[in-house]
Structure formats: C-alpha cells, structure tokens
Amino acid sequence: MKKGLFNCTILIHLLCCFAFNASAEQLHFSKKKLTDSYQFNYQWLDHESTQQTISFTLSKDALFNRFRSFRAYKPEFAEKAIFQAIKKQWQQSPIADILVNFPQSNIYNGIDIVGSDPQKVQQAYQKLNQLNEKCTTTYLTENYYQTFTTHDQITGIKPDHVAIANGSVADLKVIKPLILKNVSIKNIRKVTNYVLAFIQSIPYSPLESRVSSSGAGFNTPLKLLWENQGDCDSKVTLTAALLRALMPRISMVLVFVDQHAFIGIAIPAVGDEITIEENGVTFVLAEPTGPVLLPLGELAPSSAQAIYNGHYITQRY
C-alpha cells in the first residue's frame, strides 16, 4: 500500500474512533482554606462515565513557595545574569598579563581581550567560552529551563518539564493513598487511566508557541491545581509528577509535537495501541490534555499523525 494511502487509512480509522470518545467533564471543583493548607475537592466523569470524587490537602508552603521564582524565560534578563556570572568567575581566576574589557552593555560578544602574548590571548578566549557554556547551563538549571531542538531543527528554550515534575513529586504523594483506594497499584493501566481522566477533566488553556513563548503560560503542577487550568505542557508535567508519586519505578517519556504534548508509559502494548520506541523500550502513549476522554493507548488524530510522521521530540523521565 502506498504511504499516503496508508496514512490516510489510519487517519480515517482514528477519526472514527475519536468520534465515539466523550468529552471530559469536571463536575465540581472547589478549594477551602485551612490553617496551614488548602483542601482541594474534585468530581469528574471517567472514561466509563463513572463519577469519581477526590479531596486532598496541599500545604500553603508547597502551593506558594515551590517554584516561586519560576518565571517565563526572558532572554535579556538571562543574558545579563549569565554575563555577570562570567565576569565574576573571570575576576576570581584571571589569566596573568591578560586584560579583559567587559562592555557596559552586558553583551558577551562585546568582550574584548588584550595581551602581548597571542597564545595567552587565545587561551583567554577559550576560557571565556568555557565559562559562557558553564554559566549558561547553571542559569538554565537553576531556573528550571533547558535548550531544545524541534523535529524540524528549530532551537529554543523551554521549561525543563522533567526537573519540574521531579520537584513536585514529594508534594503530590499525599494524593497517592487516596487514588489507591479506588484503583490497585498493581494495575498500571487502571492507575494511569484514573490519573488521565482526572487531569483531562481539568479545564484546558491553549499552549503558546513552545519555541517563541519560552515558558509563558506554563503552570507548574501545584499552580495548575490551584488555578484549575493548564495548557498541554503543564498537564503533561502534572501527569508525569503524579504518576511518579504513584509508581516510583515506572519508566516514562514526555513527547512534544508542534503545539501539543503527551506522555508515554513503559508497558507492553495491547491491540493497536499507539506506541513509540526509545532505545529499545516501548512506550504506550496517552493524552492528558483533554477535553476528550482518551484512555491509555489512544491519541487525538493530529497527535497520532505526528507520531506516524516522526514529527516529535522526547524527554525521558
């Protein structure tokens, strides 16, 4: 069968399946202020149209201080901070007989090096380049960002979703026993589908361009719960953090396509579930975003088409 016809057939099949999936519905959401925490209350319909209810408390410290400094990435602020870090580290360990002029503009490319020994001048440039790489990496790490390259080789800076998920796991562990009252930890599919339906039912806010927005509009997991809304990147990060709290040893992968994101779980596929393979490991894919209620192994048609075309990048978790 020709590739174009093959993809068209798959897409028609997905559209037919997709049409029978119900939309996620959050029946109730409220939060109540307690002494040192807030109680969150939810009701929603799961993939089988069964009403689910959960209530849990999150400390004020976790809600308002975790990732308190996280902001949308601003290149001008980043460049200035990195420049000042380079300048400070050079001044702590300069090269003898080398004069480095750091411009007032705080622009790295404007740095001028003066010296009578060409070899030492070259050494100074190499050292500054190394400091630039080191300070850039440190700045991004400390601010929960990372560089990335899209499937079509466009580079940008995005939130480090894995680092943010990891930093949220401890706060979400309070939800673990509540979920396990409803589903068995031994059944990975049931646990995952419970979490998926819960997060799919949370109202969705559109994702700004991952390349140009640099984290604008992204909600960290507890902020998403507080605001009761999030874009696909935010929902995927919350899903990963909550699944990690529930299943500490499960291997996952975050999958990013243009204007969308989803998650993969390392379990054997059943039937025609949609999967990807990373370094010999098969991941069954899932859509946490909503508003359509899709269980583990099913994707929206546009997401599935992106996978089949190889138009995605991944981040292992």
Nearest CA to 210 among 73, 303, 315?
73
If asked whether residues 20 and 106 sit together in one domain, one would say no
d(CA 168, CA 58): 12
Write the CB contacts of 315 (distance below 8 Å, at least 6 apart in sequence). 161, 162, 253, 254, 256
Packing angle, helices 118-142 and 75-92, rounded to 10: 130
Q: CA-CA distance, 289 to 261, in Å (whole number)?
A: 8
Tell me: do 281 and 153 sit in the same domain. yes
Looking at 142, 168, 198, the residue that finishes a domain is 142
Query: Where in 152-290 does DSSP place strands (E)?
Result: 155-159, 252-257, 260-265, 275-278, 281-286
Count of structural domains within the chain: 2
Are both 67 and 165 inside the same structural domain?
Answer: yes
User: Does 83 share its domain with 213?
Assistant: no
Give tens-digit pLDDT for 269-294. Answer: 999 999 999 999 999 999 999 888 99
> Based on the domain organization, do 263 and 235 belong to the same domain?
yes
Q: Domain range for residue 305?
A: 3-72+148-316
Name the pLDDT band for 7 (thresholds 50, 70, 90): very low
The pLDDT tens digits for 76-120 are: 999 999 999 999 999 999 999 999 999 888 888 889 999 999 999
Do 117 and 162 share a domain, yes or no?
no
Examine the domain organization and report whether 39 and 101 are in the same domain: no
Among 142, 158, 190, the domain boundary falls at 142
Say how far apart CA 86 and CA 125 lie, in whole Å.
Answer: 12
What's the CA gap between 276 and 253, in Å, rounded?
Answer: 10
pLDDT digits (tens, 9 = 90+) for 32-87: 999 999 999 999 999 999 999 999 999 999 999 999 889 889 999 999 999 999 99
End of a domain among 142, 173, 201? 142
Q: Which residues pair with 292 in a beta bridge?
A: 23
210 three-class SS: helix
Task: Please indicate, yes or no, whether residues 85 and 40 belong to a single structural domain of this protein.
Answer: no
Is residue 159 domain-shared with residue 13, that is, in the same domain?
yes
Shared domain check, 154 and 80: no
Which DSSP string corresponds to 46-84? -TTS-EEEEEEEEEHHHHHHTTTT-----HHHHHHHHHH
Same domain, 159 and 251: yes
Q: Could you tell me if 53 and 124 lie in one domain?
A: no
Q: What is the pLDDT of residue 72?
A: 86
